[in-house]
Structures are given as C-alpha cells and as structure tokens.
Amino acid sequence: MKRLLVLFVLVAAACSGTPQGIEVSNARVWVPPGSTTAAYFDLTNHGPGDDTLVGVESDIARAMVHRTMMQDGQMMMQPAGPVAVPVGETVSFAPGGLHVMLMDVPPLGVGDTVELRLLFEQAGTVTVEVPVVEIETP
C-alpha cells in the first residue's frame, strides 16, 4: 500500500504542469535604448522528451520570439514561431540569432528585473526573473 501511495504521488507530480525539465540559464535583458529591447538566455532540456517553446509573455511589455537573419545582404528580424528544444540539448537565444523581442518597454536600468513566462508544450509555463544589463558589445 505504501508503494502505491508513493507511486501515486510521483505520477501526480509528473502531471501537475510544473516546469519540469527545462533549465533557463545565462538570462539577461539589455537596457532599452528606447521602448524596444531584447532578452537572451539558454534553454536546456533535462526532461524525459523533446519540448517546444510556443510563446513568451511579460507583464511590462509585448513579447515575441524573433530570429535575426541575413536576407538580401541585410540583417532582418522576423517572428521565429515555435522553437524546438530537443531532450538533452541546449538552445541559445543570443545576439544575431534567436531572441525575445520586448516592445513598448517602460524605462529600465541596470539591476532591474523583468519577469518572463516561457510557454512550453510539455513543461508548461516556466517563469524566470531576468536581470537588466548593459548592452553587450563585440
């Protein structure tokens, strides 16, 4: 009976919608030079299977996953759509590639934080407090 109770608790925890398996690291938001900025981070999937980032939300700004790419010799940004995060792999959101575009941002300074809610097909909602940092220069 005790084993059955332990098994029930483990199954309930696995199905609870808690953010299981997705690790967010190296997160940062650039100090906005105006009303638009970007958030960057690494997503590592430690879960039992592949997952997909399907959206992002923020209480302080409109948020959208974008991809930077070269088109006809010019750098362009466009919505990225769902982003696969295969099990055991890390997907980087970095300058010049994938990023979270934050639009209509209020004034922010170094040391402030921005809450992002990353929405995954399997892991559910993963909430992360992202520090605001100076813009990185190469």
In a domain, 61, yes or no: yes
- Express as a percent the part of the chain with pLDDT over 90: 73
Q: Which of 1-10, 59-68, 79-88, 101-110 is predicted least confidently?
A: 1-10
Within 13 Å, how many C-alpha atoms sit on residue 64's CB side?
12
Checking if the pLDDT of 6 tops 80, the result is: no
Tell me the residue type at 86: P
**Cβ within 8 Å of residue 37, ≥6 positions away:** 29, 30, 31, 102, 105, 108
- Mean pLDDT for all residues in the chain: 87
54-84 per-position pLDDT tens digit: 999 999 999 999 998 877 888 888 889 999 9
Q: Is residue 7 part of a domain?
A: no
Q: Which domain holds residue 65?
A: 19-133
Domain presence at residue 63: yes
Alpha carbon distance 130, 29 (integer Å): 6
Average pLDDT over every residue of 113-120: 98
C-alpha to C-alpha distances, 35 to 18, 20, 61, 85, nearest whole angstrom: 32, 33, 9, 29
Residue 126 in any domain: the answer is: yes
**Higher-confidence residue: 13 or 91?**
91
Residue 11's H or E segment, with its range, is helix 2-14
Tokens at 11, concatenated: 């199954």
Enumerate residues 6+ apart whose C-beta is below 8 A from 100. Answer: 38, 39, 40, 56, 63, 64, 65, 66, 93, 116
* pLDDT surpasses 60 at 3: no
| Number of structural domains in the chain | 1
Strands 22-30 and 124-133: parallel
Convert the pLDDT of each residue in 40-59 to its tens digit: 999 999 999 999 999 999 99
Q: How confident is the model at residue 17 (pLDDT cuts 50, 70, 90)?
A: very low
Look up residue 110 and give its amino acid.
V
Stronger pLDDT, 20 or 34, i.e. the higher one:
34
* Per-residue pLDDT, 72: 83
Tell me the CATH number at 113: 2.60.40.1890
